[in-house]
Structure 1
Amino acid sequence: MGRVSECAVLVRGIAERKREKKLNLLQWNGKLSTGQNLAAQGVVEAIKQKESFFIWAVCGAGKTEMLFYGINEALQKGERVCIATPRTDVVLELAPRLQEVFPYIKVAALYGGSVDKEKDAVLVVATTHQLLRYYRAFHVMVVDEIDAFPYCADQMLQYAVKQAMKERAARIYLTATPDETWKRKFRKGEQKGVIVSGRYHRHPLPVPLFCWCGNWKKSLIHKRIPRVLLQWLQTYLNKKHPIFLFVPHVRYIEEISLLLKSLNKRIEGVHAEDPGRKEKVAAFRKGEIPLLVTTTILERGVTVKNLQVAVLGAEEEIFSESALVQIAGRAGRSFEAPYGEVIYFHYGKTEAMVRAKKHIQGMNKNAKEQGLID
């Protein structure tokens, strides 16, 4: 949004744009899985009826594809659609994918510092902060990762989402890790929705391993990486598999990434305020960076083939059940490489770690029973 002071004059209004109705806007030849198709039908119906619909889908279930037919339904009627997400990285991943399957329209990507100025586009992918720019603009509002920080804890952002919608709009909510309020509303039948417990490629979610690594903070004081972690990283670097190493705080990133450069000088660290964040993530996707040391800022929205995932200090409070489930969900997402290792290196197991593992095992069990995985 840029800087705004109390004395600034702000003007709001409803800017109606000419509706352009076109057929066959969706150019996608893929096929939805059973679970995806069930969710997609719910999305289309919610958009037709201007209702609320909730999708509780595991990481890697293919949530974006579940939206394709619903978005197409809205665009064909000349309606505007917004996909709002708390994280910039998700915007940067979603916008190109949507532009590819909707080539005849402009997909706007809006986030802090973005150069895209087409705010009146019919299909907008934006961080929730950017919705403060809109008033009664969208016929369809998709809120991705409803449990993610800062959206879940910021009433201003939740207000921004409501204000950006038409008074009668379709609302689609997505997450892999809903909080207890969303779970309760869904189970009581107060919220229409669907659970998709299997990934689109029909392989189970990687179940995290626990590995005790000793007093890792003390090791860092002595400029050492815990041996078990170092050996694990070396194994996958030798195999040339990309690696995410999650750490509990930004203060550890530079220190650990510098120590790890002894394994490979191209190893980098990235965090929320890193000015090179966008470029580093892009380089990681291309294979130019073999390992990224990062915080929970990359727990969502990043898909990389063959990714292996480690957490150092998994016992720290920042690694909640939902954070650990999301982190584990980075591995094994691609059809070509549906397996990946997830390991929590810790100095003592926590309830959050145990619950995260049970959550993932429970989803795999449900998916098996429903015939969603082989």
Structure 2
Amino acid sequence: MKCYRCSNTDPAYFYFDQGVYYCRKCIMFSRLDANTKIKPVSLTHKIIQIQPKLKYELTTKQKEVSFKVCQLLKEGNDVFLYACTGAGKTEITLESICYYLSQGKKVGFAISRRQVVLEIRERLQKIFPSLHIVAVTQGYTKDTDGDIIVCTMHQLYRYPYAFDLLIMDEVDAFPYIGNDVLSSIASLSCTGQKLYLSATPDKTLLEKSKVVTLFQRPHGKPLLIPEVIVSPVFIQLFCILYYVKKWKEKQCLIFVPRRKDCIWLHYFLLPFVSNSFIHSQITNKDEIIDQFHQKKFQCLISTTLLERGITIPDVSVIVFSTDHIVYTVSTLIQILGRVGRSFSDPYGKGVLLCQSISPSIKECIHQLKQMNKDVESVMIK
């Protein structure tokens, strides 16, 4: 027996019901009987000749990387764009997107997190104002076809054999990383080439793809190497107060390891600084993020929910209890990547508070220093 959606062949994951076996491994996406072939989804295809409308010109290195990525894709390769946070990964995909659209091919953009799906759709719509760009994620599933489809990894189940170019951002993040079901569904959805994007790549994907690297942000300044403060927890709280007051002209993202930490830290800081909090169980996430963008409050306390995707100009970052197990190397690199992205504040401010320096903290700092060292190189592997 085989499931043609998730590639499951393990008998333990098949259940016998009313004379047929069905796959339980991907049952969350709807029931599919064993050995049932999946038909291609019906989507509109048209030849679109278009050029991106950007408010700024790409840097020389961005143009070089963009060209190399597009050439490798044209040659039939899957490509991994290994670029530091803030390097402009989305902008680097534009040349490839335009090429595939000009050939009448379908382009999909898949991302792990719902909030980032909505942000990427908005950015692409501004870059391609004449195109119909849809976001397909929780709460946005009525319109599922467009000139470019931006969706979460889970929503790829709607698109068997759909995409000639599938751009996959955050492939090292939950829930995609290590998820065989989502990996199979992604492979089923793409009949052409995949373009992976990440600042913290998975070694397996690096080995399977052509790799293009870029470790320079558009403003050309080095990545932030954070200040690390080792102290007891109660001292860390006073450090948070000290830094948010010191950086009072900036907005601040404060990362905590657990949902309950968001709540008590919110009330602890409330007499001293305007703040709100967000985690995976909050129902009005979009509203809170929008208010933060509008500078309705100075500090936003978050779990690792906002480690990726969110872009706030001139923001500083504080990480509380950084030695907690939830903070992996990739998580810390992504968190610190929120800082120093804008031309007005290219260096930024970031502090890691911990009771001891964990291996993740050491490796994170090592990788950031290595990226700064390799900033002048654009490599293809």
**TM-score, normalised with respect to structure 1:** 0.88
Alignment of 1:197-346 (within 5 A): 197-214=215-232, 216=233, 219=234, 226-236=237-247, 238-239=248-249, 241-264=250-273, 266-346=274-354
Deviation for aligned residue 1:39: 2.2
- Find the aligned partners of 1:105 and 1:2 in 2 and give their Cα distance: 34
User: Does structure 1 conserve the Cα–Cα contact (< 8 Å) formed by 2:29 and 2:157?
Assistant: no
User: Does structure 2 conserve the Cα–Cα contact (< 8 Å) formed by 1:46 and 1:171?
Assistant: no
User: Counterpart in 1 of 2:168?
Assistant: 143
1:92 to 118, 127, 137: 118
SS at match of 1:108: strand
Deviation for aligned residue 1:5: 6.1
User: Counterpart in 2 of 1:173?
Assistant: 196
SS at match of 1:71: helix
In the alignment, structure 1 residue 123 sits paired with structure 2 residue 134: no
- Find the aligned partners of 1:104 and 1:47 in 2 and give their Cα distance: 25
- Find the aligned partners of 1:247 and 1:297 in 2 and give their Cα distance: 10
Deviates more, 1:272-281 or 1:29-38: 29-38
User: Does structure 2 conserve the Cα–Cα contact (< 8 Å) formed by 1:47 and 1:74?
Assistant: no
Deviation for aligned residue 1:295: 0.7
User: Does structure 2 conserve the Cα–Cα contact (< 8 Å) formed by 1:61 and 1:200?
Assistant: yes
Residue identity opposite 2:69 in structure 1: V
User: Counterpart in 1 of 2:157?
Assistant: 132
- Find the aligned partners of 2:179 and 2:313 in 1 and give their Cα distance: 33
2:184 to 154, 159, 182: 159
Deviation for aligned residue 1:358: 1.1
- Find the aligned partners of 1:126 and 1:18 in 2 and give their Cα distance: 17
- Find the aligned partners of 1:250 and 1:56 in 2 and give their Cα distance: 31
Deviation for aligned residue 1:12: 4.8
Residue identity opposite 2:349 in structure 1: E
SS at match of 1:171: strand
- Find the aligned partners of 2:27 and 2:65 in 1 and give their Cα distance: 37
- Find the aligned partners of 2:371 and 2:277 in 1 and give their Cα distance: 32
1:347 to 351, 355, 367: 355
User: Does structure 2 conserve the Cα–Cα contact (< 8 Å) formed by 1:79 and 1:139?
Assistant: yes
- Find the aligned partners of 1:230 and 1:36 in 2 and give their Cα distance: 39
Residue identity opposite 1:14 in structure 2: P
Q: 1:139-164, CA deviations, whole angstroms, 9 ceiling, x for partnerless residues?
A: 10011111111100211111121111
**TM-score, normalised with respect to structure 2:** 0.86
CA RMSD of aligned residues (A): 2.4
- Find the aligned partners of 2:113 and 2:87 in 1 and give their Cα distance: 19
- Find the aligned partners of 1:284 and 1:77 in 2 and give their Cα distance: 40
User: Counterpart in 2 of 1:67?
Assistant: 93
SS at match of 1:158: helix
SS at match of 1:147: coil
Alignment of 1:47-86 (within 5 A): 47-86=73-112
2:64 to 38, 41, 61: 38
SS at match of 1:232: helix
User: Does structure 2 conserve the Cα–Cα contact (< 8 Å) formed by 1:135 and 1:163?
Assistant: yes
Deviation for aligned residue 1:323: 0.8
- Find the aligned partners of 1:22 and 1:142 in 2 and give their Cα distance: 18
Unaligned runs of 5+ in 1: none
User: Does structure 2 conserve the Cα–Cα contact (< 8 Å) formed by 1:146 and 1:152?
Assistant: yes
Deviation for aligned residue 1:371: 9.6
User: Does structure 1 conserve the Cα–Cα contact (< 8 Å) formed by 2:107 and 2:163?
Assistant: yes
The change in CA–CA distance for 1:225 and 1:354 in structure 2 (over 3 A counts) is closer
Deviation for aligned residue 1:6: 4.8
Deviation for aligned residue 1:365: 1.2
User: Does structure 2 conserve the Cα–Cα contact (< 8 Å) formed by 1:56 and 1:174?
Assistant: yes
User: Counterpart in 2 of 1:366?
Assistant: 374
Deviation for aligned residue 1:182: 3.9
Residue identity opposite 1:261 in structure 2: L
In the alignment, structure 1 residue 24 sits paired with structure 2 residue 47: no
- Find the aligned partners of 2:231 and 2:237 in 1 and give their Cα distance: 6
Deviates more, 1:224-233 or 1:87-96: 224-233
- Find the aligned partners of 1:31 and 1:59 in 2 and give their Cα distance: 19
Identity value in percent: 28
Deviation for aligned residue 1:213: 3.0
- Find the aligned partners of 1:6 and 1:172 in 2 and give their Cα distance: 30
The change in CA–CA distance for 1:86 and 1:42 in structure 2 (over 3 A counts) is same
- Find the aligned partners of 1:95 and 1:323 in 2 and give their Cα distance: 23
